[in-house]
Structure 1
């Protein structure tokens, strides 16, 4: 409506406001107002009363209506613009509104661009959208030609991409006004892109013109990328602004659309701008790649989400066909850059832009064959292969990595057995006899642990310490309690871990202390326990992982981060000592020059030891070095390192060694600390529908038995979330789900006699519940509630 008189524009804006005020759907208010005003101008009658807006203009009209409603009318105070419009002017204005100042046979926008390369901004897109909707409303054009034209011109050429969504600059000494676009200055740290404007602008037009605008955007993106590809290795190296062109296209909703190759003058078929974009990404120089990591690490969540979504969608095709290495390498590389940026933000700002789980490909996690993928990874490590998805482990779910962890443990064990057999064949008879007394049965498929209940810690310690060689701990565990009959089919092993965990991983045993703010366990720096006892704890943690046992161990996540060799940050301290971390954050945020007087800190740290306060110097002569604005960041990092590493080194190092005796190799390094924590302690996300689908029953119970139906109705509809967790602990010994979910739990339900006043009971070691055949659902619910609320030390067998 650029050339429509201000008085007519004002009528449209006023009508939009009236429609919205009367409760009309704002999504189509602009379309309705445009039609009414155009109709009234042609007929000479006043605009119609508020009518329900037509359906179908979509979210784009909402954006246009909002923009129109917020625009000043542009009318001045002269009679010429505010008085009644003359008939001739009315007719001309009606035609202008009807045709958007274009001849009926020519739908190309008559708006003269500000330059040869129009700049993509929210304002320019809004204006083009308004003009397109006006033509649509007047039933002259259904192709959104003005918007298509702007999209094509603003995204199709490098010079236009350089100016797309440029950040506005403040007023400066050179006389440039506040809000005027800055010169295109992209650095290796800052792309110069206004990400909020880009996302708002693209969101405005995403659904506006449907296929018509989408094709124009995809075509423009493809042509721009085709021009970039021959010089991909040069992008962003000497001139960072050349790299921002690629980023603008990656942010657009057009990059993942499909084009007919005939439109591009290519052989018949289909293609996507994304394919070219990923080729460009894969060809980037390492310096440009590092620049992208820095840029992405400062993106808002919506922008990073827009970049990774099309690439993740590539892997969805694995459901229907095999993908070539060339097809998966590009999306893997782009996602690797985005993931690295996400973690860089986590280290810098103590937060991730997106949850790390957002980078999972559920299809890839389900479809890969762990054995084949592990072999390819080993070959690629030896320089005999070029690609493996294990080079991009962030794509795989924690459950998929768990399968790989078990596979690597089996492979290591088999390799060590073969090596040991080879050594044995070279020994003399006397050497073999001597070795028999000092080594375990290497041929046995299990690591057998026999313990006394009243000396479970001592017996376990002796057996694990004397295990020779240590890789024997990788074998599946079989436990036998001395003096008790029975074969361990998993239940005894589960009971063993429950019993020993309650003894060792507690404050009462003296190796840990509880953090009062978060009720988590932390290493007791005053502990006098031997190194071998700390090794035992680490080994038990690793053995629980390899034997798929969930432990009730309340460690903060930083314990797993340190076990995996990952750096610690203030965020880790905040997780279990929030008040200390809050004080350190306040120090970092304090910008005044009087920091030395106000904070009165030096490079020392105070702590409690055996009930007495002690002071540790974080650097040599730290008591003489005050904390200043210049060194406050160093002070915080040194404090964090001391608190999380140095203070507990005598306890943690043997603990880590014991863990590494069982969990080592290449696969553990692929885990996030949070994933390793899930592997040890289980997940809080409980899907009881999956538990139900995997449940088994013993006669006379089955899935159709009335008592079983009542039971699942009670679990899913009657019990609260807290009661559900207690039920799970009552039946299985753990209130959390295994890393593969509740569908991997084999709950068995048996009949415990006819209707009675007895409560349900459970063999937690076997996930086996005994349920009387109650006469009514209400009674079943009441008895079940009583059982789970009183289950601590009661009703368990």
Structure 2
């Protein structure tokens, strides 16, 4: 009994819990921790190099990270971006008539390695009750813990890696939102800006019919004109198909008529030979008389079997044109524009200053053909065959941008 009581004592329970926690934490060695910190530093290096070389990255860090890089303290609004439910609870705490109804102290709980641990936000925090007088201090301490103390080792290495590349030059000349734009670019896309600064090569110029149709498609201009052209092309293809069908039917009919004539001639010869043979048999064998009706039956059966008409084979065409007129072209959507931008530049966002800063080059890649457009993302070059029709430009362009995967960070 004494041993059981000793085992159930609070001191023993606390010691067992601490030993269990130490065993679970021992799964991550010091070498592993150092390696993790080195990786955080490497990510900071990559971010700094991207800014230094004006390369946009598809890394959507919260605004608080850019504030910390510029030594600006995050606030409750930043917490709302990453932890909306917690931020809403803190807002309710600040607006409540009586903060003590929340039954909070200056300590929080956190799950670590399967264990729930208590963390004091200040000295003896578990003994200090949150009231109307100190609730603002509680919110401030929680935000400081979440954005600073809880991630201090990792963020310090991240910031060291970032500053190794860009130094402290950005701290006094950019705001957090501007720093974010340097990394990920602008989300709004103005393709008319892109058109205004695009250059042309290989025989193209801005007045080329292919180029004018290309920009009309990307900027959703002259859609009615494009639809009328699609209908005209469809009517032309349909007429050509009907003429081809009629030509094939005439050829098949002539071939069947010629075969019928040859077959009738052959039947007449066989019929004459059969009659001669029957007459000879009639004269030679008087014991087996042959009636005229039997001769007629044989003749009719042979002629009907040999001269039966063959069924007309179906008409086969290389390309089948639909009997229904084409529908109006769909708009080139924002998602299509982002895919196109990623296809040409390997980034779906605009740099600071807008799309006019990209200075894309459209180079002619041969005459009208079934080739798809291609791109050199390192130089923002689009290789475009000299397509003649709007419909073909739209189809080939959408096929290319929706089935392409180039270089990028994963």
| Distance in 2 of aligned mates of 1:540 and 1:793 | 19
| Distance in 2 of aligned mates of 1:749 and 1:762 | 9
| Distance in 1 of aligned mates of 2:215 and 2:116 | 55
| Distance in 2 of aligned mates of 1:606 and 1:767 | 51
Whether the 8 Å CA contact 2:202–2:365 is kept in 1: the answer is no
Aligned with residue 750 of structure 1, among 352, 355, 363: 363
Q: TM-score, normalised by structure 1?
A: 0.32
Q: How does 1:618-657 map to 2 (within 5 A)?
A: 618-657=121-160
- 1:561-618 deviations in whole A, cap 9, x for unaligned? 00000111111111222121111111111123xx32x312222223343454433221
Is 1:700 the equivalent of 2:203? yes
- 1:142-199 deviations in whole A, cap 9, x for unaligned? xxxxxxxxxxxxxxxxxxxxxxxxxxxxxxxxxxxxxxxxxxxxxxxxxxxxxxxxxx
User: Which residue is equivalent to 1:682?
Assistant: 185
User: Which residue is equivalent to 1:567?
Assistant: 73
How far off is 1:782 after superposition? 2.1
| Distance in 2 of aligned mates of 1:667 and 1:656 | 13
Q: Compared with structure 1, are the counterparts of its residues 611 and 671 closer, same or farther at alpha carbon in structure 2 (3 Å cutoff)?
A: farther
Q: How does 1:92-241 map to 2 (within 5 A)?
A: none
RMSD between superposed Cα atoms in Å = 2.1
Q: How does 1:548-587 map to 2 (within 5 A)?
A: 548-587=54-93
| SS class of match (1:692) | helix
How far off is 1:725 after superposition? 1.6
Structure 1 ranges of 4+ moved more than 6 A: none
User: Which residue is equivalent to 1:721?
Assistant: 334
| Distance in 1 of aligned mates of 2:137 and 2:124 | 15
How far off is 1:662 after superposition? 2.4
Q: Compared with structure 1, are the counterparts of its residues 527 and 765 closer, same or farther at alpha carbon in structure 2 (3 Å cutoff)?
A: farther
Q: Compared with structure 1, are the counterparts of its residues 741 and 534 closer, same or farther at alpha carbon in structure 2 (3 Å cutoff)?
A: same
| Distance in 1 of aligned mates of 2:366 and 2:63 | 45
| SS class of match (1:739) | coil
How many residue pairs get matched? Answer: 266
Q: Compared with structure 1, are the counterparts of its residues 612 and 747 closer, same or farther at alpha carbon in structure 2 (3 Å cutoff)?
A: farther
| Distance in 1 of aligned mates of 2:115 and 2:351 | 42
- 1:190-229 deviations in whole A, cap 9, x for unaligned? xxxxxxxxxxxxxxxxxxxxxxxxxxxxxxxxxxxxxxxx
- 1:366-422 deviations in whole A, cap 9, x for unaligned? xxxxxxxxxxxxxxxxxxxxxxxxxxxxxxxxxxxxxxxxxxxxxxxxxxxxxxxxx
User: Which residue is equivalent to 1:732?
Assistant: 345
User: Which residue is equivalent to 2:171?
Assistant: 668
| Distance in 1 of aligned mates of 2:387 and 2:111 | 57
| Distance in 2 of aligned mates of 1:528 and 1:757 | 55
How far off is 1:746 after superposition? 2.1
Is 1:545 the equivalent of 2:43? no
- 1:279-323 deviations in whole A, cap 9, x for unaligned? xxxxxxxxxxxxxxxxxxxxxxxxxxxxxxxxxxxxxxxxxxxxx
- 1:687-745 deviations in whole A, cap 9, x for unaligned? 21221121122212221111111111111114112221221111101111111221111
How far off is 1:666 after superposition? 5.1
Structure with the greater alpha carbon radius of gyration: 2
Q: Compared with structure 1, are the counterparts of its residues 623 and 678 closer, same or farther at alpha carbon in structure 2 (3 Å cutoff)?
A: same
| SS class of match (1:626) | coil
Q: Compared with structure 1, are the counterparts of its residues 613 and 732 closer, same or farther at alpha carbon in structure 2 (3 Å cutoff)?
A: farther
How far off is 1:759 after superposition? 2.7
| Distance in 2 of aligned mates of 1:527 and 1:611 | 19
Q: Compared with structure 1, are the counterparts of its residues 651 and 665 closer, same or farther at alpha carbon in structure 2 (3 Å cutoff)?
A: closer
- 1:236-291 deviations in whole A, cap 9, x for unaligned? xxxxxxxxxxxxxxxxxxxxxxxxxxxxxxxxxxxxxxxxxxxxxxxxxxxxxxxx
Unaligned runs of 5+ in 2: 1-31, 221-330
Aligned with residue 771 of structure 1, among 384, 405, 410: 384
